[in-house]
Amino acid sequence: MIHVREFTTNDLAFGMRLKTAAGWNQMEADWKRAFELEPHGCFVAEYEGRPAGTTTTCVFGDVAWIAMVLVDEALRGQRDRQSVDDPRD
Ligand SMILES: CC(C)(COP(=O)(O)OP(=O)(O)OC[C@H]1O[C@@H](n2cnc3c(N)ncnc32)[C@H](O)[C@@H]1OP(=O)(O)O)[C@@H](O)C(=O)NCCC(=O)NCCS
C-alpha cells in the first residue's frame, strides 16, 4: 500500500536526495518556497512506511502548478500494482 501524507520540513533532506539523484538543480530554498506557497499542497508518498516520492502543488489564480514529481529510483514502476491510501478519504 502506498500512503500519501503532507510534506513537512522534516522531508527536506529526502526531497533533496531525490532531486539530486534526478540531476535537478533545485536548492533547499526552492523546496521551502513551494512549501510556504501551499503548506497543505505538498505531499510525500510512503511505501511500506518509508518515503518513496514527492510532489508539490500551488495555485495562482486560475493556474495550478504541479512540480517536484519525484520517485525514488529503487521504487519506480509500481503503477497499476499498488493501491493508494488517499489522505482525503
Ligand atoms: C517520472 C517518475 C516520477 C515516474 O515514476 P514511476 O514510479 O516510474 O511511475 P509509474 O510507474 O507510476 O508510472 C509510469 C508511467 O509514467 C509515465 N511517465 C514517466 N515519466 C513521465 C513524465 N515525465 N511525464 C509524463 N509521464 C511520465 C510513463 O510513461 C509510464 O506511463 P505508461 O505506464 O502509460 O507507459 C520517475 O521516473 C521520476 O522520479 N523521474 C525523475 C523526475 C522526473 O522526471 N519527474 C517528472 C517531471 S516533473
Residue among 81, 82, 79 at smallest CA distance from 69 = 79
**Where residue 79 falls among pLDDT bands split at 50, 70, 90?**
confident
**What is the residue-averaged pLDDT of the chain?**
92
Tell me the percentage of the chain whose pLDDT exceeds 70. Answer: 92
Region label for 37, one of left (φ > 0), alpha (ψ between -120 and 50) or beta (otherwise): alpha
- Closest ligand 1 atom to residue 67 Cα is 48
Q: For 20-44, write each residue's pLDDT tens digit.
A: 999 999 999 999 999 999 999 999 9
Give 31 Cα–ligand 1 centroid separation in angstroms.
Answer: 20
Burial of 38 (0-12, 13-18, 19+ CB in 10 A): middle
pTM: 0.89
- Closest ligand 1 atom to residue 76 Cα is 7
The secondary structure element, H or E, covering residue 3 is: strand 2-6
Domains in the chain (CATH in brackets) are 2-73 (3.40.630.30)
Tell me the percentage of the chain whose pLDDT exceeds 90. Answer: 82
Lay out the sheet containing 2-6: strands in order across: 63-71, 50-60, 42-47, 2-6, 84-85
